[in-house]
Copies of this chain bind each other. A is one copy, B any other.
Amino acid sequence: MNYSKVTEADITELRKIIPEDRFFCPTTKHYDHDQFNGKKSAPDVAVQPISNDEVSAVMKYANEHHIPVAVRGNATGLMGANISVEHGIAIDMIKMNKVLEYDPGSLTLTVQAGLRIRDIEEYLQGEPFVYVPSPAMKWAAIGGNLSTNAGGMKAVKYGTTREHVRGLTAILADGTQINCSHKTVKNSSGYDIKDLIIGSEGTLAVVTEVVLRLIPRPRYEKTILLSFPDIQRAIQAVPKVFAAGLTPTSVEYFSQEVVEKWEEYADQEFPVKNGSGYLMVSFDGNDDKMVDGELADLVNVAKENEVTNTLIMKTEDPVAQEVWDARSQFETAVQETTTAMDEADVVVPINKIPLVLKEVAVVSEKEQIRLPNFGHAGDGNLHIYICQDDYSDAEFGEKTDRVLKALYKVAKESDGEMSGEHGIGYARKDYFEDFYGTDYVKLMSRVKLAFDPNLILNPNKIFPVYTSDEAPELVEE
C-alpha cells in the first residue's frame, strides 16, 4: 500500500483545523515510539484535537488525501499499535481528557477518550460507585484501554474493559461521527458496532468519547497471599477454587524467580516465604463474613495442594498496599535484570496454564534464554518475559521468534488466544494469520474495508489486510 507523503499544502490545510499550540511539525521524539522496544517511526505531523469536530475534520482531510493516521493516548501500548509506521498524521488524544457527565442515576460516567485510568479512579474516590477494570498501567488513557480491550486484575469476576463500556462515540475514517449504544444495560438493536470497535487497536475508527459502566462499590475486600512448594501446585489449585464455588475478584500467580528479582530491585523482603510458587487471591462483597468464609474455603482448597504459608490482608492494611505495589513492580524488576526484553501475553483456559508453563520450561532450556513469568491465573492470561541478557540483537530476534512460535503453538492447541490484553499491534501482526487462519483474516479484512476503504487508519497493525484474494504484500521492516 502506497500512502501519500504529507506535503506543505497539507500542512497549511491541517493548520486551519488545529491551531498552532496543538500542532507539531516536525514532530518530537515523543511521537516516534510507544512501549514496544522493537520499532521507532515518526509521524510527519502530530495534532492534539480537543473536540469531536476537530477529529472529524482531520480524518476527513486525511481520507480525501490518502494520508495514514495513527491515534495515541499516553502511548503505553506494549505491542507498537501506537507507532506511526507509515508516518502521516498522529492524532494525540491527550487533551481530550474531560469528564463529560457523571450520572449515578443511570450508573454511568461519560468521559473523553484521552482521560487516564488514574484520573477516572481519582474522580470516583469517595463516590458509592466504581469503574471496575483495573489494569496495572494507571497512566494509560481510557481510549487506549478500549483499543486493546484491556483486562487487568479483576477480569476473572468482572470481565474486561468491553463489559464495562455501555456506549461510545467514534469518528470513522471519512470523518463521519457515530454513536454506538448509549447508556443501557441491554441492547438488541442492530449490529454490535461498539464491541467491534473495542479491541480493534485504532484500525477501524477513532474513539473520542466513552460511556463507562459503574457498579456499587463493594463494601469489603480482602486479599490472601499463598505460597506453594512449586509453581505447578500453585497453578493446579486454581480450577479447584472455582469448583469449590468460590468467586474471587482476582487470582494472580508468580514464581519464586520473580519474587527474588523483585526483592533485589526493591531492596525489601517479600512478606510470604517458604514457597517457590505463589498465588495472590482477592475477594469482595457487601458482608465481611462472606469474604472471610470464602477465604477460609480457599485455604482448605490450598491445603489439598500442600500450601506452605498464607497471609490474609484487608485492602486498607499497609502490608496489602506493599504486596500490590510489589505486584505492579514485577515487570520493572524483571526489566532491571536484563539488557532488553520482549513479552508474550498468551491466554488459555485456566486448566491449561500448566501446559503453557511446561512449554516455557522446555523452550527456555532449548533456547538457553530466561523466561521469567507471572500473570492472571484466574483468567489464564500469562505474562512471559523474554530476556535478551547477553545475546546480540540478531540472536535475540531469532530466539524471540522461536519462543513466540512455541508459545503460540501451545496456546492454539489449548483453545487459547495470542493475546489476553496487550493486543497484536505492530509487534505480532506477522504471526496472526498463522494462528487464526486465512479465512478468518479475509473476513477481518472485509470488515476493515467496510470501515476504512482507503486503509488510512493505523496501517500495518494486527494483520496484513487482504484487498483481493491475493495475499497482501508485507510491509518492509
Q: Does A57 contact B (CB under 8 A)?
A: no
Instruction: With both chains docked as a complex, state the minimum distance between the C-beta of A324 and any C-beta of chain B, in angstroms.
Output: 20
Q: Does A367 contact B (CB under 8 A)?
A: no
- Cβ–Cβ contact A192 & B199, under 8 A: yes
CB neighbours of A160 from chain B (8 A): 185-186
Q: Does A155 contact B (CB under 8 A)?
A: yes
Q: Does A143 contact B (CB under 8 A)?
A: no
- Cβ–Cβ contact B245 & A286, under 8 A: yes
Q: Does A202 contact B (CB under 8 A)?
A: no
Q: Does A404 contact B (CB under 8 A)?
A: no
CB neighbours of A460 from chain B (8 A): none
- Cβ–Cβ contact A186 & B287, under 8 A: no
* Given A106-B350, A287-B290, also A182-B423 (CB < 8 A): no
A241 (CB) vs chain B CBs: closest residue = B216
- Interface locus among A260-268, A301-309, A311-319, A436-444: A436-444
- Interface locus among A3-11, A26-34, A390-398, A445-453: A445-453
Residues of A162-214 whose CB lies within 8 A of B = 162-163, 167, 172, 176-179, 181-193, 195-196, 198-200, 204
By size class, the interface of chain A is 35 or more
**Max chain B Cβ within 10 angstroms of own Cβ: one of A188, A415, A463:** A188
CB neighbours of A178 from chain B (8 A): 439-440, 443
CB neighbours of A108 from chain B (8 A): 349
Q: Does A149 contact B (CB under 8 A)?
A: yes
Instruction: With both chains docked as a complex, state the minimum distance between the C-beta of A205 and any C-beta of chain B, in angstroms.
Output: 9
Residues of A150-166 whose CB lies within 8 A of B = 150-151, 155-156, 159-160, 162-163
How many copies are assembled?
2
Instruction: With both chains docked as a complex, state the minimum distance between the C-beta of A240 and any C-beta of chain B, in angstroms.
Output: 9
**Max chain B Cβ within 10 angstroms of own Cβ: one of A186, A293, A347, A435:** A186
**Max chain B Cβ within 10 angstroms of own Cβ: one of A150, A347, A463:** A347
- Cβ–Cβ contact A420 & B188, under 8 A: yes
- Cβ–Cβ contact A196 & B199, under 8 A: no
Q: Does A86 contact B (CB under 8 A)?
A: no
**Max chain B Cβ within 10 angstroms of own Cβ: one of A290, A419, A423:** A290
Q: Does A351 contact B (CB under 8 A)?
A: yes
Residues of A240-256 whose CB lies within 8 A of B = 242-247
Q: Does A421 contact B (CB under 8 A)?
A: yes
A462 (CB) vs chain B CBs: closest residue = B190
- Cβ–Cβ contact B443 & A349, under 8 A: no
Alpha-carbon gap, A379 to B182, bound state (A): 13
A439 (CB) vs chain B CBs: closest residue = B176
A290 (CB) vs chain B CBs: closest residue = B287
Q: Does A275 contact B (CB under 8 A)?
A: no
Q: Does A104 contact B (CB under 8 A)?
A: yes
A185 (CB) vs chain B CBs: closest residue = B379
* Given A198-B192, A286-B245, A289-B287, also A185-B155 (CB < 8 A): yes
CB neighbours of A219 from chain B (8 A): 245
Q: Does A47 contact B (CB under 8 A)?
A: no
Instruction: With both chains docked as a complex, state the minimum distance between the C-beta of A12 and any C-beta of chain B, in angstroms.
Output: 29
Q: Does A422 contact B (CB under 8 A)?
A: yes
- Cβ–Cβ contact B184 & A380, under 8 A: yes
* Given A182-B415, A184-B416, also A217-B192 (CB < 8 A): no
Residue from B289, B435, B450 within 8 A of A449 (CB atoms): B450
A176 (CB) vs chain B CBs: closest residue = B439
Instruction: With both chains docked as a complex, state the minimum distance between the C-beta of A348 and any C-beta of chain B, in angstroms.
Output: 6
Q: Does A285 contact B (CB under 8 A)?
A: yes
Q: Does A424 contact B (CB under 8 A)?
A: yes
Q: Does A25 contact B (CB under 8 A)?
A: no
Q: Does A432 contact B (CB under 8 A)?
A: yes
Q: Does A327 contact B (CB under 8 A)?
A: no
Q: Does A389 contact B (CB under 8 A)?
A: no
Q: Does A474 contact B (CB under 8 A)?
A: no
CB neighbours of A449 from chain B (8 A): 450
Alpha-carbon gap, A376 to B183, bound state (A): 15
16 A–B contacts from the bound complex (CB under 8 Å): A106-B352, A106-B415, A172-B443, A184-B379, A184-B417, A185-B347, A185-B381, A186-B420, A187-B417, A188-B419, A190-B463, A191-B204, A192-B198, A216-B245, A216-B246, A287-B290
